Structure 1
Amino acid sequence: MTILGWEPRLTTLVTALTGEGHLRSKEWIDAFAATPRHLFTPDVFVTSANGYRRLSGDDPADRDEWLSLVYSDESLVTQDKPHAAGHILPTGEPLRVPTSSSTMPSLMARMLEALDVRDGMKILEIGTGTGYNAALLSHRVGDRNVISADIDPALVHHATKRLTDLGYTPTLIIGDGAAGAPEHGPYDRIITTAAIPEVPSAWIQQLKPGGKILGNLRGDLAGGTLCLLTHDNDGEVIGPILPIGGHFMWLRPDPADPHHPHEHTPTQRRWPSSRTTTPLSPADLPVDDEAFRFLLQLQLHGAQSLYRGRAFDPSTRRERDAVIATAHDGSRAEAFTEPEPEGAYQIVQSGPRRIFDTIEITRHLFNDLGRPGPDKFGVVANDSTQFVWFANDDGWYRWPLPLI
């Protein structure tokens, strides 16, 4: 199939990425300008009333819309699979969820610039996906220096063909990215386009002294945290969380299951509930503040959700506005935002932990620390311990990983 009209769109995209400061170095500008994104995204999925609608470059009716999307600064869903829990849409069809995507070009540009790549470096990419990023890396350092791993055989198969069509033959591996690729290491750089709750020890072991890991460290409350970790001579990686937002799909161990293991619904258990009050207004909690959510997931291990919604008040037998929080161990808190006549606010908690107590403590800590964003934190990881630190790595404040 011959696609017409993509060259000026690619030029416009690269010009925009450069003008907005996402691309800065000549080497990466040249790599993006030489890599047609449409070759790696022949089919994309866009949201519709019934889930996702497929757009294909093979369909003349879709082609203009498809090409506009491909050369926009947007993340593109490129593969989906049925939901592992078997959910069904009103149409009777299975609910499908994204399992692979092509990262927003501006985010990929910022990540590659931050990776500080130099000529001749050997790079391990975790999450081959479409193969687009492997093509960019191959252009920059030569395909013989690029190793890319993905758990999904179908993705690796298609990426291999697309890269070959463009003239690149990097080493592509089918396997769990958490294990890395020791047979091809050690590496100067490791970049992952799949989210991790902690740094896999295999990556640290396969990294050269002075090498760097760039990855998306995330939990379920706040996901846009990219950390850049440098390997010292003591078998440890350390570095900051960058002021670059980036949210990726989970690194997962099963190609047939689109979910990380922690996302599976646990067996429901009936927990007795406690009822308490607080003098502090739950409505004042910054539930939508990404910085607060990041700190909360450090404080509250296994935090699952935090939101404003409606909850059943057992004293009035009606639903009321509340701040609702849940954790993966079954803990739940509902803090009603309307005060009682005496001025206190009612809280209902259930499960193995009283998680609203931790939320209140975190609100005070968040203010005491100056309401810091994720880029005020960093990460240390070695074979025996991993933690997130605040302000500096030898300071008082630190929280153990993983985040889930």
Structure 2
Amino acid sequence: MSDHDKHLRQLIDRMTASGSLRSQPWKDAAAAVPRHEFLRNGFFRVVDGTSPTAWAPVREGGEGWLEACYTDESLVTQIAGTIKPTDIRGEILREPTSSSTLPSLVLRMLEDLEVQPGMQVLEIGTGTGYSTAVLCARLGDDHVTSIEYDEEVALRAREALSRLDTYPNLLIGDGLQGGDQGTLYDRIIATCAVRTVPTVWLEHTRPGGQILTTIGGWLHASELVRLTVHEDGTASGPALGGQVSFMLARPHQAPPLGMLPDLSAGREREAIIGADVLDEWTTRFVAQFAVPTVQRLKLQNGQHNEDVFVDTETASFAALRHEDGRWIVRQGGPDPLWDAVEEQLGRWHAAGTPAVEEATIRVTPAGQSIHW
């Protein structure tokens, strides 16, 4: 048995023991795909003790490269939109823009996709091609279409897949616009997060088909959801839990805040709910459905620290401060942001603050909402 075969078997055993890999067909598919083939361009490793975070390249054949390929970890494969590990020596301080997702999450999502033989699957975000290869091993190349936004990332994935004699339908383009025009898919699975589920995904899914995606947002909380598409062009389904986090699709990422509105203007009142509740993941996830284009920052205003929420699309804002044992909110702009947050969280509290797994997400051409 080769070294990579041994490492692959150990990885499958770990994923089985953790519960992310649950059925024999997906175990067989995972066993057929050597992950290191998709990391031959190397990956970036965090440099310990750095702030801001620095990244150092690990190249194929370097110390710990093969072992890391079979750890159950996400491995960063691109920095700053263009830089791959073979491009630099030393360290880099820019932000990651592409990665190879931890295998247990890949297999957990494929299990959650509830796919059956003969189905046509569209994958949004080819990435390294690892999850594409596992899909092909399970369904066959002719049943898998994968689309990647970044042309260089797509070409590297194509090379890796061809080394395994795997040839799905690979597209280069904006996966937020769906796959092949005129094609209906039984399943759509996204390996990036979206702020709002694109309506075109519903249009590209057969009635009764499913969409598995992570819904995230600019308040930095996200969850995996499985939506069933209905005859009327809407979709609904459960949040699956687990605080699953992916990089947001590039067109859905938050814009720079730029010039802030005049935060001294606006009307003040005592807040029903304080800003500190949004320090908790599930609360932020629920609140995002009410204020999907809001970003949060902390500012000093005189003697007070304020939690400031700004909608860059409308220039609306809410600034909250804790004073004399109570929260005071000051709101300005066309939309009273904190009113919307309090109303949304009020409905959640009235339902007994159920776990996210008890929620139903609904998507229509008019937008998306969360219900209990």
Question: Which of 308, 312, 316 is residue 301 of structure 2 equivalent to?
Answer: 312
**Match of 2:231?**
233
**Match of 2:35?**
37
Letter in 1 for 2:255: E
**Match of 1:123?**
121
CA distance in 2, matches of 1:273, 1:27: 60
TM-score of the aligned structures, taking structure 1 as reference length? 0.79
CA distance in 2, matches of 1:357, 1:117: 41
Question: Which of 217, 221, 229 is residue 223 of structure 1 equivalent to?
Answer: 221
**SS at the partner of 1:326?**
strand
TM-score of the aligned structures, taking structure 2 as reference length? 0.86
**SS at the partner of 2:160?**
helix
What is the CA distance between 1:229 and its match in structure 2?
Answer: 1.4
Question: Which of 253, 274, 296 is residue 287 of structure 2 equivalent to?
Answer: 296
8 Å CA contact 2:289–2:370 kept in 1: the answer is no
* Pair 354,180 (structure 1): closer, same or farther in 2 beyond 3 Å: closer
Structure 2 gaps, min length 5: 83-90
8 Å CA contact 1:57–1:67 kept in 2: the answer is no
Letter in 1 for 2:56: R
What is the CA distance between 1:321 and its match in structure 2?
Answer: 4.2
**Match of 1:274?**
266
8 Å CA contact 1:129–1:155 kept in 2: the answer is yes
CA distance in 2, matches of 1:300, 1:231: 25
**Match of 2:87?**
none
Query: Can you list the C-alpha shifts for 1:174-195, whole angstroms capped at 9, x where unaligned?
Result: 1110122234722111111111
What is the CA distance between 1:275 and its match in structure 2?
Answer: 5.9
- Size of the aligned set, in residue pairs, is 358
Q: Within 5 Å, which residues of 2 pair with 1:124-273?
A: 124-183=122-181, 185-253=183-251, 260=252, 262-270=254-262, 272-273=264-265
What is the CA distance between 1:261 and its match in structure 2?
Answer: 5.8
Query: Can you list the C-alpha shifts for 1:12-46, whole angstroms capped at 9, x where unaligned?
Result: 11101111111111011111122111111231112
Work out the percentage of aligned pairs sharing the same amino acid. 34
**Match of 1:72?**
71
**Match of 1:334?**
319
CA distance in 2, matches of 1:59, 1:363: 51
* Pair 348,234 (structure 1): closer, same or farther in 2 beyond 3 Å: closer
Letter in 2 for 1:114: D
Letter in 1 for 2:309: A
* Pair 344,271 (structure 1): closer, same or farther in 2 beyond 3 Å: closer
Structure 1 gaps, min length 5: 84-92, 254-259, 392-404
1:287 maps to 2:278: yes
Query: Can you list the C-alpha shifts for 1:206-225, whole angstroms capped at 9, x where unaligned?
Result: 22232211111222224321
**SS at the partner of 1:263?**
coil
CA distance in 2, matches of 1:385, 1:364: 23
Letter in 2 for 1:304: Q
8 Å CA contact 2:225–2:237 kept in 1: the answer is yes
CA distance in 2, matches of 1:224, 1:303: 15
CA distance in 1, matches of 2:203, 2:12: 36
8 Å CA contact 1:292–1:371 kept in 2: the answer is no
Letter in 2 for 1:56: V
**Match of 1:369?**
351
CA distance in 2, matches of 1:385, 1:215: 19
Letter in 2 for 1:327: D
CA distance in 1, matches of 2:242, 2:273: 32
* Pair 184,59 (structure 1): closer, same or farther in 2 beyond 3 Å: farther
What is the CA distance between 1:172 and its match in structure 2?
Answer: 0.7
**SS at the partner of 2:114?**
coil
**SS at the partner of 1:212?**
strand
Query: Can you list the C-alpha shifts for 1:92-130, whole angstroms capped at 9, x where unaligned?
Result: x98522211111222111110111111122111110010
What is the CA distance between 1:239 and its match in structure 2?
Answer: 1.6
Letter in 2 for 1:335: L
* Pair 47,350 (structure 1): closer, same or farther in 2 beyond 3 Å: farther
RMSD of the alignment, in Å?
Answer: 2.8
